[in-house]
Amino acid sequence: MHRPHQPRFTKGRPVIRIAFHQKLLSYLQAVSLKRSRSDISGCLELLLYRNQFQLLTDGAFYSDGDRYYPAVAVAKHLREFLPAVKSVLVLGAGLGSIVHVMRARGFDPRFTLVEKDKTVLSWALETLGEGDALKLELVCRDAECFMAKNARKYDLVFVDVFKGRAVPGFVTTPIFLMQCRDSLSLGGRLALNFIEVDKYEWEKARTILAGVFPECQIVSKDDNRILITSPSPSPEIPDPPRG
């Protein structure tokens, strides 16, 4: 029997406080707020740059508050769809930039943020501010394992899973993509962020993606490739027998 994921938020959760001088300085240079070492992500650093939270790991920057390009691109592309979105699943939460992006546009659906690094997840908890806690659920789990057991439906699924700048191999396997597809509610949409490090790997991934999501668009900027699907179809209802 599937056991629903329990919300991890309560009132009085920790919220990071930024001094006024730190905000001012962040417009001139990145301000280091925290450092840690994780068994999963290696060296981690929480930065404030131009008054937006950024996450620095050994291999890449993640998150950029409400300026994070992949989340901004998804919000712009789906701007007519977002008013109908009541639930969002984020695989690879980072600091929860998509929450900032959607809140900045006046949308506040329920978010389930899945992230396997507990340090990153705790920093996300601190940087998300004092919004409606009941609409946020954090799950510390590997995205592949989470999807293998997921039985919920979501209006929007945002896949943003990386190891450094590389997308883990499971993300572009047909079984994982079909699990994502099956987790969409009627009319739901999926967005998947991919960084093209190697052209051959991207072409191979795009072929697999198109096999599961034949009706999709690719939004590109620099080396980001963001796949955004068309609305999930309604289940086919067979024609009644003719007598």
H or E segment to which residue 137 belongs: strand 136-139
Give 177-202 pLDDT, tens digit per residue: 999 999 999 999 999 999 998 889 89
Residue 28 DSSP code = T
pLDDT averaged over the chain?
A: 88
Q: Where are the beta strands (DSSP E) in 57-134?
A: 61-62, 87-91, 110-114
CATH at 216? 3.40.50.150
Residue 99: pLDDT above 90?
yes
Give the residue from 164, 162, 159, 155 showing the smallest Cα distance to 209: 159
Specify the pTM.
0.87
Residue 106: pLDDT above 50?
yes
What is the distance, to the nearest Å, from the Cα of residue 219 to the centroid of all Cα atoms in its chain? 16
* pLDDT for the residue numbered 13: 58
Question: Backbone phi, then psi, for 173, in 5-degree steps?
Answer: -85, 145
Structure tokens at 150: 């997921």
Residue 15 lies in a domain: no
Residue 29 lies in a domain: no
Confidence band for 233, pLDDT divided at 50, 70 and 90: low
Stretch 118-137: mean pLDDT = 83
* pLDDT for the residue numbered 145: 97
Q: For residues 210 and 216, is the Cβ–Cβ distance under 8 A?
A: yes
Alpha-carbon span 212 to 209, nearest angstrom: 5
Sign of the torsion formed by the C-alpha atoms of 169, 194, 163 and 5: negative
Residue 3 DSSP code = P
CB neighbour burial string for 179-211, b if at least 16 within 10 angstroms, e if fewer: bbbebbbeebbbbbbbbbeeeeebeebbeebee
Confidence band for 228, pLDDT divided at 50, 70 and 90: very high
* pLDDT for the residue numbered 230: 85
Residue 171 lies in a domain: yes
Structure tokens at 24: 């001012």
Residue 34 lies in a domain: no
* pLDDT for the residue numbered 75: 96
Residue 168 lies in a domain: yes
Residue 37 lies in a domain: no
User: In terms of residue numbers, what domain contains 144?
Assistant: 66-229
Residue 104 DSSP code = H
Q: How many independent structural domains does the chain possess?
A: 1
